[in-house]
């Protein structure tokens, strides 16, 4: 369990990803891959869940900071790289995963399947590297 002073995720990044909330990006960011996928496939529960999440982000942020380990790799940097450049593997290069970064770069994130996989597992990948 994390020290309560270690802030692994950023509310600012959470709200920026919330703008794209109908994709579930903010939910993936806060370590909620199942509801992230639901938001992705239902356009944020037809916009209703997306709007409600505007008020839930502070709680999701606190929960993520308690759940994940702060350390050398910054979750927000990894998530920005994953969200906007993930198909090119830039987030994997950032985490020191050079070989898979090259594979992602040459195959478009393993034809986007690996890129989607990383949306579901990126928090755990960064957490493992920070431990």
Domain boundaries, the chain: 6-67, 72-131
Q: For residue 23, what pLDDT is reported?
A: 86
| Regions of the chain where pLDDT drops below 50 | 1-4
> Interhelix angle for 48-67 vs 11-19, to 10°?
150
C-alpha to C-alpha distance for 37 and 120, rounded to whole angstroms: 8
Q: For residue 1, what pLDDT is reported?
A: 46
Helices vs. strands in the chain: H and E counts, helices first: 8, 0
Q: For residue 92, what pLDDT is reported?
A: 98
Residue 127's contacts (CB-CB under 8 Å, 6 or more residues apart) are: 68, 69
**Rounded percentage of the chain residues whose pLDDT exceeds 70:** 96
C-alpha to C-alpha distance for 14 and 59, rounded to whole angstroms: 11
Residue 3, SS3 per DSSP: coil
Q: For residue 28, what pLDDT is reported?
A: 96
Q: For residue 21, what pLDDT is reported?
A: 77
Q: For residue 126, what pLDDT is reported?
A: 98
What pTM value is reported for the model?
0.89
> Is residue 78 a contact partner of residue 119, using CB atoms and an 8 Å limit?
no
> Is residue 104 a contact partner of residue 89, using CB atoms and an 8 Å limit?
yes
């Amino acid at each position: 369990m994390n020290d309560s002073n270690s802030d692994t995720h950023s509310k600012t990044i959470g709200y920026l990803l919330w703008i794209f909330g109908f994709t579930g990006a903010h939910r993936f960011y806060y370590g909620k891959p199942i509801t992230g996928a639901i938001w992705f496939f239902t356009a944020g529960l037809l916009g209703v869940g997306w709007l409600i999440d505007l008020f839930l982000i502070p709680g999701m942020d606190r929960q993520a900071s308690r759940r994940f380990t702060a350390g050398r790799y910054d979750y927000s940097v990894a998530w920005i790289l994953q969200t906007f450049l993930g198909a090119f593997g830039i987030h994997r290069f950032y985490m020191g995963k050079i070989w898979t970064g090259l594979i992602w770069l040459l195959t478009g994130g393993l034809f986007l399947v690996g890129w989607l996989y990383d949306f579901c597992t990126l928090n755990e990948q960064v957490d493992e590297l920070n431990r």
